[in-house]
A = this chain, B = another copy of it.
Amino acid sequence: MLGNTFGKIFRITACGESYGKGLAVIVDGVPAGLSLTEEYIQHELDKRKPGQSALDSPRLETDIVQIFAGMLEGKTTGAPVGLIIYNVDTQKIHVDQYREVKDIIRPGHAEYTFFVKYGKYADWCGAGRASGRETVGRVAGGAVAKYILDKENIEVFAYTKESHGITARDMTFEEIKANYRKNEINCPDLEAAQDMIKDVLEISGKGDTAGGVIEVVIKGVPAGLGEPVFDKISADLAKGIMSIGAVKGLEIGGGFKTADMTGYEWNDGPYAEDGKVRFKSNNQGGILGGISTGQDIVLRVAVKPTPTISIDQSSVNMETMENTKLSAITRRDASLLPRIYPVIEAMTRCVILDHLYMWKAWCGMQRYENKWRDG
């Protein structure tokens, strides 16, 4: 019920579950004349494909996207773009496995709250809309946003900053960009990455899983994006990213370190250079007063450990309201870090593009008695 549409001008509306026939996303706000292709979107979808390394679930998800609306002879037409991805791995054997335990709460999962909200007809099969599979729609929609942002030279990079307490060292953006996709945990600090992978595999060997932190850098955002006071770009980024299932925290620029700082330390010294305002540091994370400064926007996102573990856990049978045990589950991601980054990138892109549209509206309008600038 509700809650399946995101964005105001650039807007995605998604549906679909793990064990239904398929997932779709309708993308509204796409300009006419774009040579968008299924290959382009597929490339983004492939990033979240499982089974790419020992860290992910072996679930077979051959997510093949089909553009079924909004294009004519290879060009977008200004109409909403319709994308559908049919599920392939929905064998009856798995459905039956889910049916057997459908009344038993899987700790850290959403069965219980969906049961409360939607009653006994809540989707019990593969977590339904609370499944990570739901993010297929986000990534497909975000790929369309990416296609447009490419043309505006706005780039979004998400990579692993921390995994189960092991932290990547601070690096220049050039170093990050050169290295962030060189290993299966997407950590640009190649040494730390090896430690992280080893650590996750060790945890996984014990049937357990690990959490971590993803850092996001958005480059090329012009100054001026964000709508005070409630629709600050920071607020909308927070909403978009916190709406992803496993995300439990978000910080911008200095973030929680801010708590230990004084104003003198925190304030990023502005200075003029080449007729432009620049800043000596970026505690503000590229946002002041909820509006982009033209610097990199920098976020960090806390990702919880995969709740599905291969260890027996005590639980509750919701139907009988009796205490029971949930057996170990084998098919799972040892860490969400290798697969969640494209989802975070996708939501980030949707927010940035939505605000860019608003900025264009604003620039188009604000020029009456304000000859000082053209916006």
Contacts and interface: CB of A to CB of B under 8 A. Distances in A.
B69 A15 contact: yes
A63 to B, nearest CB: 14
A321 interface: yes
A250 B253 contact: no
Nearest to A87: B68
Contact of A229 (B134, B211, B285): B134
Contact of A22 (B69, B208, B288, B362): B69
Interface string A342-375: 0000000000000011111111111111101101
* Among A209, A262, A293, A360, residue most surrounded by chain B Cβ atoms (within 10 Å): A262
Contact of A68 (B84, B237, B270): B84
* Among A164, A276, A360, residue most surrounded by chain B Cβ atoms (within 10 Å): A360
Contacts of A185: none
A231 B17 CA distance: 17
Contact of A249 (B33, B84, B258): B258
Interface string A6-33: 1011010111110111111010111111
A217 to B, nearest CB: 16
A69 B13 CA distance: 13
A265 to B, nearest CB: 8
Contacts of A224: 113, 116-117
Decide if the interface of chain A is mainly helix, strand, loop or mixed.
mixed
Give how many copies assemble into the complex: 4
A48 interface: no
A61 interface: no
A303 interface: yes
Contacts of A287: 113
Interface stretch (A52-60, A104-112, A187-195): A104-112
A72 B124 contact: yes
A284 B323 CA distance: 20
A330 interface: no
B227 A235 contact: no
Given A69-B20, A224-B113, A269-B314, A369 B305 contact: no
B223 A263 contact: no
Contacts of A209: 262-264
Nearest to A21: B68
A254 interface: yes
A76 interface: yes
Interface in A268-300: 268-272, 275-277, 283-285, 287-294
A235 B242 contact: yes
A214 B159 CA distance: 28
Contact of A28 (B2, B240, B317): B2
